[in-house]
Amino acid sequence: MRPSPMAARAASGCSSAALAFFRLRPLGRATRLAPAGRSAFGATAACRGRLVDSVLQELRSRRRVRVSARIGLQGTKELSDSKIEKRTIQKGLLLEFHKDSERSLLAVVERPDGKKNWVVTDQNGILSSIKPQQVTYVVPGTMDFDCSRIAEFLEKAQDLLDPTILECAWMELSEKDKSVTVEEFADIVYGSKESLESYCAHFLLSRDIVYFVKVESRGSSIYQPRPSAQVDELLRRKLAKEAADKELEEFVHLLKSAKALPLGSKPPKNSWLMEEKVKQKIESLQAYAVDVCNDEQRRMAGNILKAMGFARTSSAALKLLINVGYFPVHVNLDLFRYDVQTTYTEKVLSVAEELLVDCPDSDKHVRKDLSNLRVYAIDVDEADELDDALSATRLPDGRIKVWIHVADPTCFLQPRSILDREAMHRGTSIFLPTATFPMFPERLAMNAMSLQQGTDCRSVSVSVILHPDGSIAEYSIENSVIKPTYMLTYEGATELLYMNLEEEKDLRILQEAASIRAQWRRSQGFNRHCYDRTSYQGGKSG
């Protein structure tokens, strides 16, 4: 019979203890496991290779008949007839119990505690009261065990806890489809059912997640070899988990290193986004901090916070991101909650720079030259983009004509171009107390697409002629070219009106137009903040 790839891999990776198992030699205490780098048989690496070859040859030629006979395996799916005496908990026994969900400890039973519980002294010398349900294994042959010997017992056990034994034993037992008790497993791999060997067998089997599955039979714990396909899948998952654990460890090291740096020396934000594996983890923390994460991001962020020693809360994630320099101290989380894009790709920035250098005006032949008007752009002092302005003049018949000029950024765009798609995705410019995020790249938005004082600017101008009562007599909309005269704040415009300069009569006409227009709106049922659409019928709207 040709050994399976799994068998070949197992044999080549087996320890000296496992090889001895295949060669049918019960392991004595002195030769069970050799120190790292030396075979239990005293062979060199080449000798060990020959041992593996001989094992495989034996598997091929003799079909492991002698192995089956040695371990007393019976017919398929039949359990050993030997009955394991049911051991009740009593004073002096050595047992293993669950301390919590992540720890199991050895302990010696001291005395009963009430009707069901027991007081034990664990391997750390701590007295605890445990429930019977916490007991995971009672070590056989340990009556009147001295708790001071637990450390010595564990030290000896370390020499026998070789995980490769599991794979080798699985190969042998799965071929015959045999299930075993802990003691039977100890006898197979160590050649003994004594206390130490039985505990080591229990330790390996109970913590194994690949080769054996625990089943209950007649009050005893039976371990059954898993099918080959299942083992292959579990091995794949185990390797993937080990790789993920290593990645997590490396990422946590990065976080701790960045956290320890002074404020001015923190790594820049983009450095966390360069490598895909690091980017996924930092973005999981970000999503967790703003509470917009999916299940995978929540799991990953929780593992990171736990590894860092932080509580699994959004505030802890936020604090960590600030401490490593990924977030500024005064971060606006709504930018992340609503996925607001605050940066531009290199391609978008490159296209914007090209437009600043050369942008022909397809509407040039239809633009009306209004550069002779006095144009007032009035806004708050903190305004970054100046995109509207006003002009006014008095007609010969005494009526007032007002122009509302609006910057024309669309003349820079071709429909469905990269800039057009970027603007459609963003929807609007965002103005915050701490920052402004324009819909277009900043140099384009703040310069060519805005109104500039003393410069010919492309705009769309709405002209409105008012009746003396403030209602609209007529209007027109046209593409235009204007040359803004003043860039004023509201306070500056008010001061200029108080100065009552002759050359600023157009500004006073604007003030008059605003006054009569306000009176008309009030007469129609409007106020400063809202209006009732049903309060007027017919006529021109305001």
Answer yes or no: is pLDDT of 44 > 90. Answer: no
Answer yes or no: is pLDDT of 43 > 80. Answer: no
Sheet holding 117-122, edge to edge: 127-130, 117-122, 103-113, 94-100, 135-138
CA quadruple 28, 42, 34, 23: dihedral positive or negative?
negative
Residue 410 is given by DSSP the state G
Work out the pLDDT band at 383, boundaries 50, 70, 90: low
Answer yes or no: is pLDDT of 252 > 60. Answer: yes
74/177 Cα distance (integer angstroms): 10
Determine the length of the chain: 542
Provide the pLDDT for residue 447.
85
Could you tell me whether strands 127-130 and 457-466 are parallel, antiparallel, or unpaired per DSSP bridges? unpaired
Asked whether 326 and 282 are in contact (CB, 8 A), the reply is yes
Question: What is the phi/psi pair of residue 90, to 5°?
Answer: -155, 165
In 10 A of CB 308, how many CB atoms? 17
175 vs 217: which has the higher pLDDT: 175
Provide the pLDDT for residue 217.
63
Domain extents for the chain? 93-227, 233-338, 354-524
Mean pLDDT in residue range 158-181: 91
Could you tell me whether strands 94-100 and 135-138 are parallel, antiparallel, or unpaired per DSSP bridges? antiparallel
Provide the pLDDT for residue 18.
45
Mean pLDDT in residue range 496-524: 90
Both structure tokens of 510: 């604007």
pLDDT > 90: what percent of the chain? 57
Answer yes or no: is pLDDT of 158 > 80. Answer: yes
Helix (H) / strand (E) element for 98: namely strand 94-100
Provide the pLDDT for residue 193.
92
136/122 Cα distance (integer angstroms): 14
Work out the pLDDT band at 227, boundaries 50, 70, 90: very high
Q: Of 266, 203, 270, 210, which Cα lies nearest the Cα of 242?
A: 210
Work out the pLDDT band at 333, boundaries 50, 70, 90: confident
148/151 Cα distance (integer angstroms): 7
Instruction: Kindly give the residue spans of alpha helices, DSSP state H, lying in 179-275.
Output: 182-190, 195-207, 228-260
Provide the pLDDT for residue 527.
66
Mean pLDDT in residue range 166-191: 92
For 404-455, how does the pLDDT look when each residue is reduced to its tens digit (9 = 90+)? Answer: 999 998 888 888 999 999 999 888 888 887 778 888 998 898 888 899 899 9
Both structure tokens of 447: 């310069």
Mean pLDDT of the chain: 81
Provide the pLDDT for residue 143.
87
Provide the pLDDT for residue 160.
92
Asked whether 98 and 136 are in contact (CB, 8 A), the reply is yes
Mean pLDDT in residue range 522-542: 54
pTM of the predicted structure, to 2 decimals: 0.53
312/317 Cα distance (integer angstroms): 8
Percentages (nearest 5) of helix, strand, coil residues in the chain: 45, 15, 40
Half-sphere exposure of 70 (CA within 13 A, CB side): 18
Answer yes or no: is pLDDT of 87 > 90. Answer: no
190/185 Cα distance (integer angstroms): 8
Helix (H) / strand (E) element for 120: namely strand 117-122
Highest-confidence segment of 9-18, 249-258, 321-330, 501-510: 249-258
Amino acid at the residue 144:
D
Question: Among 1-15, 134-148, 342-356, 521-535, which stretch is predicted with the lowest mean pLDDT?
Answer: 1-15
Asked whether 252 and 304 are in contact (CB, 8 A), the reply is yes
Residues in contact with 194: Cβ distance below 8 Å, sequence separation at least 6, in sequence order: 141, 186
CA quadruple 407, 413, 419, 421: dihedral positive or negative?
positive
In 10 A of CB 352, how many CB atoms? 22
In 10 A of CB 317, how many CB atoms? 27
Answer yes or no: is pLDDT of 48 > 60. Answer: no
Provide the pLDDT for residue 122.
95
